[in-house]
A and B are shown apart, each in its own frame.
Chain A
Amino acid sequence: MLELIGLNKRYKGEAEAALDGVHLRVQTGEFVAVLGRSGAGKSTLIRCVNRLVEPDAGRVLWQGRDLTAMSAAELRRARMRIGMVFQHYHLLPRLSVLTNALAGRFGAMPRWRSLPGWYTASERALAAAALREVGLEALGRRRVEELSGGQKQRVAIARVLVQQPELLLGDEPISSLDSVTAARIMRHIASLHRERGMTVLLNLHDVAVARAHASRIIGLAGGRIVYDGSPEALDETALARIYADEAAPDLPIHRRDRG
């Protein structure tokens, strides 16, 4: 189980808090989508879970252990079991598709092997199988810069498959993709949840995509949770709360999302 307790985060020079006392409990095996306007705190929330962003206050409990109280070495071990996909893919530049998939083993390998990139036959087989699963087995030797956006995100999914985490975090994983490619990536993420039993927590811009895949939806506005419920219960009133534009209250943003 993942539990966020009273998370607060305010970035330097910002008047508003990015996260303002967020409490959230995610059960093992849940698929949780976080919705909210740009600047609502979605990315900060996701990044506080694996401490890519350090919260100012509050705790993150993962499988009963406090991630926020961990030493650097303990945190690295915990991160091994938490996968992440990013909006801009964050692949390792100038390296091959295969090397990027193999990077999923970084946390699990001894240092003397990870630094020079000495992988065992079983690790290579794992990476090859992951690339096959995302349909990129023929492109293993290609440099990642030569791939399209959708292919890059599939490499990132392959990296997660090689990492074999128990929790998958996603920071807008389909925002930079066209709708067809986005649907394909979401199918991959859904299969990680369904077939591999990963708990999924990802933020999305698209309400329809969240409704289609998530078992639970969290709505964030101004760094606070303003909706927590099932996709079915996400009605107009809830959407208005999540997407309400303080500057133009008559033009709720959610109407654009549904269009």
Chain B
Amino acid sequence: MRTWTALGILVLLLLWSSIGTGLAQAPLYDLGNTARFIAEHWFPPDFGHWRIALAAMVDTLQIALCSTLVALAIALPASFVAARNTGLPRWLYDGTRLVFNLFRAVPELVLALVFIPTLGLGPLPAVLALIIHNIGVFGKMIAELIEAADDGPQEAVKALGGTRLLVAAYGILPQILPLVLSQYFYRLETAIRTTLILGVVGAGGLGQLLYNDFKQFMYQKVTFEVLLIMVLVTAVDYAGAAVRKRVK
């Protein structure tokens, strides 16, 4: 009986949200229009500006790489402070957790819009926005990995007369490293997609190029740019898989 009630509630929620968003009415629209629009205007892709597009792709990768690496470098040591089992004072734990939560709560787009008026257009506002948001994401995630780490190696380092830093470096870090790397590549992929969105507000890279071409109705160029995005995301996914395979 409870299962049916739960299922009923789920169906009601689905109906309510799909009517609200217009998805329920989608069959009433002529979706063939979209297919015709893509077929007629988006193909064949225009490769003519390949140099510009490739440079923009490199910019996008650099923004995503730089911001996630800096965020990881800051969040990794800070997350030891935000983990309950590292034995640091409670106020430090609470304070660091609060900072992580605040950083994570503000979307990158909002942060970028805050930085653009003072720092100007270009990749820097996007990089700063991504760093701040990702410190929050990495910090919380790594702190939870630290809390779930096996006590055994930590006890061993303590019993050998090791300092707190050694307990972290040898008792905890080797355990969580593969999971941190796995999360890093996931966040890198997410950062690439976010960088594309930030391009709309002037952060440079493929996102900005795509948005400018779209506004000028140069859809065939947009097709090539979308293809490049797919290549980039897939390449990052493969690179991540290769690194994860080595770091087990």
Contacts and interface: CB of A to CB of B under 8 A. Distances in A.
Main SS class of interface, B: helix
B170 A103 contact: yes
Contacts of A108: 161
Interface stretch (B38-46, B152-160, B229-237): B152-160
A94 B175 contact: yes
Contacts of B162: 76, 106-107, 114
A189 interface: no
Interface in A53-81: 76-80
Contact of B161 (A92, A94, A106, A115): A106
B160 A103 contact: yes
Q: Which 9 A-B pairs have the closest CB atoms?
A: A107-B161, A90-B156, A79-B161, A80-B161, A90-B152, A94-B174, A84-B159, A106-B160, A106-B162
B98 to A, nearest CB: 26
A79 B155 contact: no
A92 B163 contact: no
Interface in A81-101: 82-84, 86, 88-95
A94 B177 contact: yes
Contacts of B160: 79-80, 103-104, 106-107, 159, 163
Contact of B159 (A52, A89, A111): A52
Contacts of B153: 90-93
A93 B174 contact: yes
B155 A90 contact: yes
Contact of A92 (B158, B165, B170): B170
Nearest to B164: A72
Interface in A161-216: 163, 169
Contacts of B150: 93
A50 interface: yes
27 contacts: A52-B155, A76-B162, A77-B161, A78-B161, A79-B159, A80-B160, A83-B159, A86-B152, A86-B155, A86-B156, A88-B152, A89-B152, A90-B156, A91-B153, A91-B156, A92-B171, A94-B174, A103-B156, A104-B160, A106-B160, A106-B166, A114-B162, A114-B166, A115-B165, A115-B166, A159-B160, A163-B160
A107 B170 CA distance: 13
B92 interface: no
B163 A103 contact: no
B174 A76 contact: no
The listed residue with most B CB atoms (<10 A of its CB), out of A88, A91, A94, is A94
A50 B157 CA distance: 12
A50 B161 CA distance: 10
Nearest to B170: A92
The listed residue with most B CB atoms (<10 A of its CB), out of A89, A103, A106, is A106
Nearest to B171: A92
Contacts of A115: 165-166, 169
A92 B157 contact: yes
Contact of B174 (A82, A89, A95): A95
B107 to A, nearest CB: 36
Given A115-B165, A115-B166, A103 B174 contact: no
B174 A50 contact: no
Nearest to B159: A84
